Amino acid sequence: MNNQTVKHFPLPENILSLNTKQLKELLENDEYLNHYVVNKSYHEHNEIIKYEKETKRLQEILDGIKSIAKSLSEIKTDHIRSNISTLEKNDTALKQQMNYLETELSHDNIKRFLDDYLNKIQKTQIDPLKQKVIEDPYDLDSHGEYIETLTKFNRLRFLFNSLST
């Protein structure tokens, strides 16, 4: 038996103690050879299945990478630049709006706005009712309306003053 054949053939443990005649009988033993072929075929079949599964898994990974590469190559840089430009414009507009709101909604501006609003209510609602009560001191409906409006006005003024402090 040459060295090539020995490498690919499962030999018994006691191979070194066998003589040439016993080795020849072993190689001519159909049961031993059948067992060897079946065993070797089974292991090779399992190896083939393992490699096929690994090949399939690697192919799926490769297909995924190709899909990602294709989708990345389809992205138009002009579209991205346009989106970035739009975002920068929106960011600038938002910063300007924020700056405007910070200056317009300062404590002093809010207090001035609320004071102007109270003065407008004073001129349009309170003063005419007060004049009406002065002109006709015996009109109870005018007195009631004046007191009710003045009470609401004073509550509103108190609320505004508490907000501005």
Indicate the domain borders of the chain. Answer: 1-75, 106-165
145 within 8 A of 125, measured Cβ to Cβ: no
21-32 per-residue burial string, b: 16 or more CB within 10 A, e: under 16: eeeeebeeeeee
**Distance, first Cα to last Cα, the chain:** 108
| Between 47 and 13, the higher pLDDT residue | 47
Q: What is the pLDDT of residues 87-124, one digit of tens each?
A: 999 999 999 998 888 888 887 888 888 899 999 999 99
pLDDT digits 0-9 by tens, 36-74: 767 777 788 888 899 999 999 999 999 999 999 888 888
Whole-prediction pTM: 0.40
Q: Residue 121 contacts by C-beta under 8 Å, 6 or more apart in sequence?
A: 153, 156
Q: Please tell me the distance from the alpha carbon of residue 4 to that of residue 122, in angstroms, as a whole number.
A: 115
